[in-house]
Structure 1
Amino acid sequence: MKNYMFCFALIFAGCANIVPPSGGRADVNPPKLISSNPANKTTAFSSSSILLQFDEYIELKDKNGIQISPSCKPPPKIIVRGKRIEFELSCPLDTNITYTINFGNSICDLNEGNILENFTYVFSTGQVLDSIKIKGKVNHSYSHETIGGATIGLYKSFDLSRPYYYTYTNTEGNFLIENIKDGEYVIFGFIDSNQNLNYDLGEAVSVPENLSSFEGDKNLKFFYEEDKSKKISVSNTSRNSLIFENKLSTDSIIILNNSGFWNHDNEKSEFWFNNSPVLIEYLINGVADSIQLYNNLAPEIQLKVANDIEDIIKDKSLIIKSNNPIKECHSDSFVWSGGKQAIEPKIIDFFTIEVPIENANLKDEKLIIFPGGISFETGLKNDSTSFLLDFDPANYGTLNIQCINFQNNMILEIYDNTEIIKKHKISQEMRINYIKPGTYKLRVFEDLNNDYNWSPGLIEKREFGEFVYIYSDLLKIKPNWELDVQLNLEK
């Protein structure tokens, strides 16, 4: 009986879960390689298997993220057993080549999930390890923010089908590829969102370029390539409107069976109509299509001030933008606070109203639009609306800028984490007034196509995006204060 009980206890002991000991400090260290067979960086490699032994129990978060370069097909078989990884090679290996097995961020400890970042195992089928290396950094072209987790590859040609060598950037955007065989390569980087080791449209990417030298740091600028083949998204946003969501020129959409009013911006085109059709037929870039109307909700009226205080004072007019097409304005419904009547508002287009401000005090002002002051083509009228305007310069800061080595087609932007605050064409001496107190960044880009917006690169044509300069210091704007900045915009 005692023997049976002893065997029973062994069975249960063998099935026990691996659990961390209680108490003490939490484990914050990643697994550590304590041995490998064959040894890491072995030369004259002839084995078909590799055993990696770690100092704690491990798991692989993503086997698909483990890659071997140069390419090895069929892919190796990977097995995790407790504290070790068994790697079975079934592909033929080239002679006199150094191979790198890149585990990326796949290896972590079993209990705490601490990741062993960018672990690599290297071996050579020749008598020496290839010793050339390249290092560099990845930034976003427009913001210059560093990009972690990007795939950086060296390719034999511009077909970019699969990198011959590759690595990943760390959290600071730095990368290092070692053990490279001397030769000619194309360097190319991208965010491999679906981990297929290929660039797919919609992933952040750099322009592929010949690697002329391995010396020094290689800086790659990432951007999102515009998808010109993307299908246009069309939605029926109200009983009187459609939105075509894509960057389209104003003449690339034609409505075939209705008349109405167009409202275009950089991201979408909105079509308004005041009858009740069953469907709308349209032509986009010569291709006919239609959408059945399903939304019976009345459109919401939105009114907002489109120009900032500096432009209002300079132009002596307030610009109000509407999301609904405007039919008429009633001047007796537009007044400044205190009862002083504003100069008669002027309709600039179906979505824009101009309100002159000569009769305003240019201090703290409140423009009031009484209910029904604006009638819309959709049959709606506005509710009571007001805009509070602070014209007092003591509540704002001023930025004085001197520019050297600049181009006449450069655009300056002052921005924060959410929006662009100021935007101006560059000149040698600039004075920007009425900046709200806060902390901002400053950016200048070269507007090569004169569209007043930054344009990214093109992969197929191997064209880089427009030049971008980021001022290194933060702009700390204070009320009733002036800040002087000098910009050297030499490329």
Structure 2
Amino acid sequence: MIKKLTSLSIIIIIYACATVQSPTGGEKDQKAPVLYESNPKDQSINFNGKEITLFFNEWMKLDQLQNELIITPREDIKFESELKKQELIITLEEPLKDSTTYTFNFRSALKDITEGNLWENPTIAFSTGPFLDSLYVEGNVTDLKNTAPQKGFLVGLYSNNYDTANLRQGKPTYFTTTDENGHYKMQNIKAGTYKIYTFQDANNNLINDPSSEAFGFHSETVQLYDSIGTIDLNTYNRNEDTLKLKKFSPVGKDFTIQYNKGLKSYNILNPNDSNQYIYANDIEQSKNIKVYKDNFPNLGYQTDSLLLMVTVSDSIGTTRTDSVFVKLRESRITNDSIKIVSKPSNKIISGPQLFKLTFSKPVAHINYDSIQLRIDTIPIFQFTKEQIAITANRKTITLKTRLEQQQIEQEIDSLKELRKTLNIDSIPPSADSKEQSPTDSTETLNKTDNPTDIPSDGRAARSTNTGSTGSTKLKLFIGEGAFVGVEQDSTHATTVEFNFKNAEDYGIIKGEVIAADFPFVVELLDKNYKVIDTLINQAEFTFNYVDPGDYRLRLLKDTNSNTVWDAGNPIALKKAEEYIYFQEVITVKSNWEVIDKNFDFSVDNEVDSGEETEDL
């Protein structure tokens, strides 16, 4: 029995010794694996073999080598690989070109087998000739709109010797990808003239798809015959696909026209009646246009058709006009009723007011007497046709008026005094102050006559009736049916209560644009780079009533004076308009004034505390 136990113990000991196990306990291995030797050696010359070997100080594992390994200059180099514990063997199917410097960048393909630590600086370079190309290009890639570093973006050098040397048609001669800080560096480059592009190569095909992949470029060709300075690149998203009509067909009871990309504007003309306004709605990220059946009440289902001329434009200024034949079919599908989808802010400043309302579909008619300013339920101002502006697609309406804080506060105080005198919280409203206005006064947008019972200055007759809630607030009142859609649906009653901003609750930011000999726009951004306010060509600028918080300033060099940023042309290397960021994060406190936040373009001065973007 003792002999049997001894034999079993020996077998267990031998098995344990033969089994490879990760060590237990102790500190976690955070050291990167080290390349002990390679053939060819890094920075060596006169290599003429077909086998490349790398030997590390510990066991390694491979991860998607075919996708991760970048070989430059780019060629269709086919290879097979084999990993033997610490040694990686790459066998080339064809010999490399003579007298050429190659760089093998393994990126994230090689890591140790225990903790997955990546091989740092995973690059070797060698030459098949008697000398080694030593030129390099480096820089940083950031997002144009928020300066965030762009990780994993391809950065490529395109030889200027080819007509297709650009990010859309050709493939780069040399390329690399940015690290987590947006930094890139391409080494061992052959002297020559190159174009530099960067883009988000999501499908790893080395060609930019502008419909989905952000991109950027340097606006000049680079004469690379000696060392050059850092070249930083900014990226942005811009769908530059050719604008195309995809299809058109009846959907439900209406008719939909579909394009391949979002539209900036559209216009629909009925050649048989050029004065007819065609009510339509842009849907699904503005790629589709819904044309309402109610435009053509006499158009028969299935049998009749109508020719429309549809002119559209996209964000890059491309315009096209298409002939579309509308044919409708009967359907039980109905559309949602028209809704107000956004209302004006409830905080206002004394002076001119622009109250903006947006709708879920186009507005066909307006009941002007259902749009009022009230204190409680007392109308103090009636909007007229002249004080209401509507956009071309009739989905955004702006109410224009002027409100002086002192005057409104006097009105409110008078009402409070009346309540105090009468010793009541409120007085029941009379019939003419009900929340639902009559609909028999509906007027089309094309008519010019105004309500006859409203004075020309828009002020309504005063009433001594107060509301039933007891609140004494300035309100925008929109009565039931104030806005009517093309399908004869209408909006519900709603109100917006206003409060005048107290200057002591806000801060002020002041600065100056010095010696700018170009049009410009100064933008106030929040911490997420959302535009809060803009000022155009104001050399001494002031942002008032700024909520407490952290902000940034950005200046746009508005070359064409259209007050918006314009992209460049990557194929023609036409430079985009520049953004200049004020580096400092500006902290605003209540009742606090921040001054001297300047952009200085003096000859002997760089932009004060600024950070100028590079080419796009």
Give your verdict on TM over 0.5.
yes
Which residue of structure 2 aligns with residue 216 of structure 1?
A: 229
Is the CA contact (8 Å cut-off) linking 1:331 and 1:345 kept in structure 2?
yes
Which residue of structure 2 aligns with residue 415 of structure 1?
A: 525
Is the CA contact (8 Å cut-off) linking 1:105 and 1:117 kept in structure 2?
no
Is the CA contact (8 Å cut-off) linking 2:376 and 2:474 kept in structure 1?
no
Q: Give the match's secondary structure for 1:315.
A: strand
Give the letter aligned to residue 51 of structure 2.
S
Pick aligned residue for 1:154 from 154, 157, 170: 157
Pick aligned residue for 2:100 from 83, 97, 101: 97
Provide closer, same or farther for how the CA distance between residues 319 and 60 of structure 1 changes in structure 2, counting only shifts above 3 A: closer
The answer on 1:487 being equivalent to 2:599 is: yes
2:269 and 2:82 map into 1 onto residues whose CA distance is 59
In the TM superposition, residue 488 of structure 1 has moved relative to its aligned partner by 2.0
Per mean C-alpha deviation after superposition, the further-off stretch among 433-442 and 196-205 is 196-205
Provide closer, same or farther for how the CA distance between residues 409 and 14 of structure 1 changes in structure 2, counting only shifts above 3 A: farther
Give the letter aligned to residue 234 of structure 2.
K
2:23 and 2:271 map into 1 onto residues whose CA distance is 73
In the TM superposition, residue 49 of structure 1 has moved relative to its aligned partner by 0.6
Q: Give the match's secondary structure for 1:185.
A: strand
Give the letter aligned to residue 292 of structure 2.
F
Which residue of structure 1 aligns with residue 217 of structure 2?
A: 207
Which residue of structure 2 aligns with residue 395 of structure 1?
A: 505
5+ long unaligned stretches in structure 2 = 312-319, 410-472, 602-606
1:32 and 1:300 map into 2 onto residues whose CA distance is 67
Is the CA contact (8 Å cut-off) linking 1:243 and 1:270 kept in structure 2?
yes
Q: Give the match's secondary structure for 1:64.
A: helix
* Map 1:19-38 → 2, pairs under 5 A: 20-38=22-40
Is the CA contact (8 Å cut-off) linking 1:400 and 1:429 kept in structure 2?
yes
Q: Give the match's secondary structure for 2:217.
A: coil
Is the CA contact (8 Å cut-off) linking 1:342 and 1:356 kept in structure 2?
no
1:281 and 1:117 map into 2 onto residues whose CA distance is 65
Which residue of structure 2 aligns with residue 478 of structure 1?
A: 589
| Cα offsets for 1:66-124 (capped at 9, x unmatched) | 12112343422223333332111223322222210111222233454443365112111
User: Normalising by the residue count of structure 1, what TM-score does the alignment of the two structures yield?
Assistant: 0.83
The two structures, once aligned, show a CA RMSD in angstroms of 4.0
2:145 and 2:266 map into 1 onto residues whose CA distance is 29
Is the CA contact (8 Å cut-off) linking 1:79 and 1:85 kept in structure 2?
yes
Which residue of structure 1 aligns with residue 193 of structure 2?
A: 184
Which residue of structure 2 aligns with residue 121 of structure 1?
A: 124
1:340 and 1:296 map into 2 onto residues whose CA distance is 38
Which residue of structure 2 aligns with residue 376 of structure 1?
A: 485
Give the letter aligned to residue 397 of structure 2.
T
Which residue of structure 2 aligns with residue 64 of structure 1?
A: 67
Per mean C-alpha deviation after superposition, the further-off stretch among 461-470 and 50-59 is 50-59
Pick aligned residue for 2:372 from 330, 334, 339: 334
Q: Give the match's secondary structure for 2:598.
A: strand
Give the letter aligned to residue 287 of structure 1.
D
Is the CA contact (8 Å cut-off) linking 1:337 and 1:368 kept in structure 2?
no
Per mean C-alpha deviation after superposition, the further-off stretch among 464-473 and 433-442 is 433-442
Pick aligned residue for 1:446 from 545, 553, 557: 557
2:336 and 2:498 map into 1 onto residues whose CA distance is 30
Per mean C-alpha deviation after superposition, the further-off stretch among 193-202 and 231-240 is 231-240
Which residue of structure 1 aligns with residue 360 of structure 2?
A: 323
In the TM superposition, residue 217 of structure 1 has moved relative to its aligned partner by 1.2
The answer on 1:165 being equivalent to 2:178 is: no
Is the CA contact (8 Å cut-off) linking 2:338 and 2:485 kept in structure 1?
no
Q: Give the match's secondary structure for 2:82.
A: strand
Pick aligned residue for 1:287 from 312, 319, 322: 322
Pick aligned residue for 1:260 from 275, 278, 282: 278
In the TM superposition, residue 398 of structure 1 has moved relative to its aligned partner by 1.8
2:593 and 2:483 map into 1 onto residues whose CA distance is 40
Give the letter aligned to residue 320 of structure 1.
L
In the TM superposition, residue 301 of structure 1 has moved relative to its aligned partner by 0.8
Is the CA contact (8 Å cut-off) linking 2:508 and 2:588 kept in structure 1?
yes
Provide closer, same or farther for how the CA distance between residues 216 and 454 of structure 1 changes in structure 2, counting only shifts above 3 A: same
Pick aligned residue for 1:348 from 389, 396, 410: 389
Q: Give the match's secondary structure for 1:343.
A: strand
2:107 and 2:536 map into 1 onto residues whose CA distance is 44
5+ long unaligned stretches in structure 1 = none
User: Normalising by the residue count of structure 2, what TM-score does the alignment of the two structures yield?
Assistant: 0.68
Give the letter aligned to residue 208 of structure 2.
Y
Q: Give the match's secondary structure for 2:382.
A: coil
Q: Give the match's secondary structure for 2:358.
A: strand
Provide closer, same or farther for how the CA distance between residues 119 and 348 of structure 1 changes in structure 2, counting only shifts above 3 A: same
2:247 and 2:24 map into 1 onto residues whose CA distance is 58
Instruction: Report % sequence identity.
Output: 22
Is the CA contact (8 Å cut-off) linking 2:520 and 2:561 kept in structure 1?
no
1:26 and 1:388 map into 2 onto residues whose CA distance is 61
In the TM superposition, residue 325 of structure 1 has moved relative to its aligned partner by 2.8
In the TM superposition, residue 476 of structure 1 has moved relative to its aligned partner by 1.7
Which residue of structure 2 aligns with residue 134 of structure 1?
A: 137
Per mean C-alpha deviation after superposition, the further-off stretch among 123-132 and 238-247 is 238-247
Provide closer, same or farther for how the CA distance between residues 107 and 451 of structure 1 changes in structure 2, counting only shifts above 3 A: farther
Give the letter aligned to residue 524 of structure 2.
I
Is the CA contact (8 Å cut-off) linking 2:371 and 2:476 kept in structure 1?
no
The answer on 1:51 being equivalent to 2:53 is: yes
Q: Give the match's secondary structure for 1:184.
A: strand
The answer on 1:81 being equivalent to 2:84 is: yes
Which residue of structure 2 aligns with residue 175 of structure 1?
A: 184
Pick aligned residue for 2:335 from 297, 304, 323: 297
In the TM superposition, residue 487 of structure 1 has moved relative to its aligned partner by 1.4
Provide closer, same or farther for how the CA distance between residues 122 and 332 of structure 1 changes in structure 2, counting only shifts above 3 A: closer
Q: Give the match's secondary structure for 2:232.
A: strand
1:123 and 1:486 map into 2 onto residues whose CA distance is 50
Rg bigger for which structure? 2
Aligned length: 485
Per mean C-alpha deviation after superposition, the further-off stretch among 148-157 and 376-385 is 376-385
1:207 and 1:45 map into 2 onto residues whose CA distance is 35
In the TM superposition, residue 156 of structure 1 has moved relative to its aligned partner by 2.1
Per mean C-alpha deviation after superposition, the further-off stretch among 201-210 and 426-435 is 201-210
Is the CA contact (8 Å cut-off) linking 2:370 and 2:480 kept in structure 1?
no
1:240 and 1:405 map into 2 onto residues whose CA distance is 56
| Cα offsets for 1:406-463 (capped at 9, x unmatched) | 2453122222316321122121112221222222222111233444321222112211
2:281 and 2:600 map into 1 onto residues whose CA distance is 39
Q: Give the match's secondary structure for 2:556.
A: strand
Provide closer, same or farther for how the CA distance between residues 143 and 407 of structure 1 changes in structure 2, counting only shifts above 3 A: farther
Which residue of structure 2 aligns with residue 42 of structure 1?
A: 44
Q: Give the match's secondary structure for 1:212.
A: strand
Provide closer, same or farther for how the CA distance between residues 215 and 434 of structure 1 changes in structure 2, counting only shifts above 3 A: same
Is the CA contact (8 Å cut-off) linking 1:169 and 1:175 kept in structure 2?
yes
Provide closer, same or farther for how the CA distance between residues 471 and 109 of structure 1 changes in structure 2, counting only shifts above 3 A: same
Per mean C-alpha deviation after superposition, the further-off stretch among 396-405 and 67-76 is 67-76
Per mean C-alpha deviation after superposition, the further-off stretch among 20-29 and 127-136 is 20-29
